[in-house]
Amino acid sequence: MHGKIENITYGVITVSDSRFNGLISGKEIKDESGNFLRSQLNAKYYSVIPDNKDILKGLLDHLIEFTDVDCIVITGGTGLSPRDNTPDILEKIFQKKLPGFEVIFHNLSYEKVGYKTILSRATAGIYGNKIIYALPGSLNACKTAVEIIKKETGHILKHILEGRDDK
């Protein structure tokens, strides 16, 4: 299949206890990664949430069911600390995983940060006929991933939607 879908509607979710706590306490938060992704992807939706499995799952379900979002990009929660749950949640809900994203992301990351890339559990997959990418919270990781996302999301969406009557 050739071609790709244009005019993709993106949503960005920042998963971070510290940023969420700052936000709810009325402090101005510094969300470099989230803001970078919003800008680069011209995201229509944006949320900052804590590292909480139920909140993340609920927000994903809401975005997929009640908005016109085509692709959700999550930054944060992909590390190895006990509260980093993003990939664990996604593994349970993905209908199809996109392992090629992980391979390419880690290869590009290795060129920039070396063996530290092993600390990331970045992932991508399909849920509810939408694409979800989960990225580390670091700005450099988001800069690496956004190029992959911008180049391939339209092509992936075309494959997902091919043959559906309710496009």
Task: Give the residue-averaged pLDDT of 28-34.
Answer: 92
Indicate whether 1 pLDDT > 80: no
Residue 165: per-residue pLDDT: 55
Domains for the chain: give ranges and CATH numbers. Answer: 10-161 (3.40.980.10)
Region 8-15 average pLDDT: 98
Residue whose tokens read 């706590």: 21
Average pLDDT of the chain? Answer: 94
The tens digit of pLDDT for each residue in 48-89 reads 999 999 999 999 999 999 999 999 999 999 999 999 999 999
Q: Residue 167 has what pLDDT?
A: 46
pLDDT tens readout for residues 144-164 = 999 999 999 999 999 998 866
pLDDT of residue 2: 63
Q: What is the DSSP string of 77-130?
A: --SSSTT--HHHHHHHH-SEE-HHHHHHHHHHHHHHHGGGGGG---EEEEETTE
